[in-house]
Amino acid sequence: MKLLIKGMVCDRCIYVLSEELPKLGLEVTEIRLGEVIIKEMDEIIAEHVIRAMLQSNGFDLIYRKNQKIIEQIKSAVEKGINEQLNTGEPVKFSTLISNELHKDYDSLSSLFSSLEGYTLEKFIISKKIEKVKQFLVYTDQSLSDIAYAFGYSSPAYLSNQLKKYTGLTSSYYKRIRHLQNT
C-alpha cells in the first residue's frame, strides 16, 4: 500500500518515518520523499494511527491525487517567487505553473479553487505579500525597490495590495524594523 506524505522534504524526514512506522507494527518496503510503501494492513485502524503519528512529527497524509497536485502548485508558486527575487525578472505564474505540472493552467486554477476555497491568484498574491512583509521588516530596502523586486507595477500598487491583504500599511512594517533595531 502506497501512502503519500505531505511535508517530507529531506533525508531527516525519511529517517524519522523509517524509525516511527515500524514502532506502529507496520512493515515498510520502501520510503522516499513524499511517499512510503508498506505491506497491507487494516486500513481503518491504521489510517487513524498513522495519521496521528505523522501529525505529531510534522507530516500529514495526502489522500487524493488532486491534493498532491495542489502541493505541486504551491511549490511552483514558491519557486516562481524565489526565481523572481533572484533574477529580478518578472515571472508569469500561469506559464510557470502550467509548465511545471504539464497541464493547462485554467484547469489547474479551477482545481485549486475548488479544493482550497480561494483562487490561485489570491494564493499567489498572499505568498508574495508574506515575502514583502519580511523584506519590509528585515531589510533596509525601499518600498520602490521591493515593488520592483516582486514585479509590482508601482510602489503605490504594492502599498494598496499590502493594505488590502493585511489591513496594515508598509510604514507599519517599517516601524517594526526600527523597533527591532533600537
pLDDT tens profile 132-145? 999 999 999 999 99
Q: Show Cβ contacts of residue 94 under 8 Å, excluding neighbours closer than 6 positions.
A: 105, 109
The answer to whether residue 63 scores a pLDDT higher than 80 is: no
How many whole angstroms separate alpha carbon 83 and alpha carbon 102? Answer: 19
pLDDT at 17: 93
Domains 2-63 and 67-181 are alike in CATH topology: no
- Say whether pLDDT at 41 is over 80: no
Find, among 93, 102, 103, 79, the residue nearest to 125 by Cα. Answer: 93
Residues 71, 107, 114: CA angle, nearest 5 degrees: 65
The larger pLDDT score, comparing residue 100 to residue 45, is at: 100
Q: Across the strands, what pairs with 167?
A: none
pLDDT score at 42: 59
Residue 33 has pLDDT above 90, yes or no: no
Domain ranges, ordered by start, for the chain: 2-63, 67-181
Q: What's the average model confidence in pLDDT over 162-179? A: 91
CA–CA gap between residue 73 and residue 79 (Å, rounded): 10
pLDDT tens, 76-131? Answer: 999 999 999 998 888 999 999 999 999 999 999 998 887 777 899 999 999 999 99
- The pLDDT value recorded for residue 45 is 55
Neighbours of 71 (CB within 10 A): 15
Which listed CATH number (3.30.70, 1.10.530, 3.40.630, 2.60.40) goes with 2-63?
3.30.70
With CA atoms as reference, report the closest residue to 124 among 69, 89, 68, 78.
78
88 HSE (CA, 13 A, CB side)? 1
> Is the pLDDT assigned to residue 178 strictly greater than 90?
no
pTM: 0.65
Which CATH code is given to the segment(s) 67-181? 1.10.10.60
Residue predicted with more confidence, 3 or 175: 175
